[in-house]
Amino acid sequence: MNTDDGGHHDAAVDALAVREYERAGNRYTRGGWRVLADPRPEIDPFGPDEKGWVGQGLRQLLAATVASRVAGVDARATQRAVEGIAASRDFARVLDEPGQAACLAEFVADFRVAGALDAAEAAYDDAADQYVAAGDAVDSPQALATTPLFEAAAATIKQVARGQADGEIAIAWEDLHGADPDQPGEFLAHRARFKKQRFRSLVERAVEDGHLAAPRGTTEYDNESHRCPHCGSNHVNWAGTGVLCLRCSRPTERV
C-alpha cells in the first residue's frame, strides 16, 4: 500500500478470509488511524500533499465501516463513519491540489452510505459539483485519478462489488470515470454520480449476504499448487498474508 500501517491492513484481510468481520473492522480501524497519523516519513498529514497519501488511511476507515456493518456491529460502523467524515473534511482544508477537495467530498458521501447515515445522495451531488467546478484547473484527470488519494477513494466500492461477482473485477476504470478526459470536471464527476447509483445497494447486499470479499491483489487462474477447500476453485488471489481463493476469498490449501 506504500504506507506503513503496522501490518493492520493485511491482518484485516486475513480476518475477512476466515469470516471474522468484527475483527477485520477493528484491524482496518487501527491501520487507518496509524496511516492518518503518519502517512509516510516525509509527509505531514496536515500539510499539502499532491499525492494525498492520507487517502490510504481513509480507505481503511471506510473498509472498517463496511466490515462492521457486515459483522452486525452497527454502532461501531456508525462511529467509524462519523470519524471518517470528520477526517475527510479536516483534510479538505489542507489538500489544495485541484480536485482533491472534491475527492474528499466523495469520501464523505461514501462514509454516509457505508455507515447507513442520511444525506448520502446530497453528499454525492456536492462532490460532483465540486469536481465540475475544479475541472478547468485539472491538467490531466487520468493522472489525477491514479494518485493515492483517488485510488483509495475507488478501492472500497470495488472490494464490495467483487464479493457479489464471483471474485471478478465488477467495477472497472471505465465504470467510474467519464468518457471524455478533455472535459476534466465531468470526467471526474462521474465517480460521484456512479457511486450515488450503485454503492448503497452493493453495501446493503453485502450486509444481507453477511459477506465482504477480500480486496483483489495479485491473481492467477488455474494455479496448480493451491485449491480452495470450500468451493474447489484453483483460481487464487494473493492478499493479506496468505493465498486466498479468488472466488470466495477463503484461505486455500496447497495440493
Per-residue pLDDT reduced to its tens digit, 126-151? 999 999 999 999 999 999 999 999 99
Mean pLDDT of the chain: 97
* Angle at alpha carbon of residue 154, lines to 151 and 62, rounded to 5°: 105
Nearest to 191 by CA among 135, 118, 117, 119: 135
What pLDDT score was predicted for residue 2? Answer: 85
Using the Cα atoms of residue 204, residue 13, residue 80 and residue 47 in order, give the sign of their dihedral.
negative
Q: Which phi and psi angles does 147 have, rounded to 5°?
A: -75, 160
What pLDDT score was predicted for residue 207? Answer: 98
Q: How confident is the model at residue 66 (pLDDT cuts 50, 70, 90)?
A: very high
Whether the pLDDT of residue 171 is over 60: the answer is yes
Q: How confident is the model at residue 1 (pLDDT cuts 50, 70, 90)?
A: low
pLDDT one-digit tens code per residue, 34-52? 999 999 999 999 999 999 9
Average pLDDT of span 203-222: 97
A 10 A CB-CB count for 147 gives 19
pLDDT one-digit tens code per residue, 155-167? 999 999 999 999 9
> What Cα–Cα distance (Å) separates residue 55 from each residue in 35, 105, 147, 149, 150?
9, 12, 9, 4, 7
Give me the percent of the chain exceeding a pLDDT of 70.
Answer: 100
Cβ atoms of 226 and 252 within 8 Å: the answer is: yes
Q: How far apart are CA 30 and CA 209, in angstroms?
A: 25
Average pLDDT of span 163-172: 93
Q: How confident is the model at residue 24 (pLDDT cuts 50, 70, 90)?
A: very high
pTM given for the model: 0.97
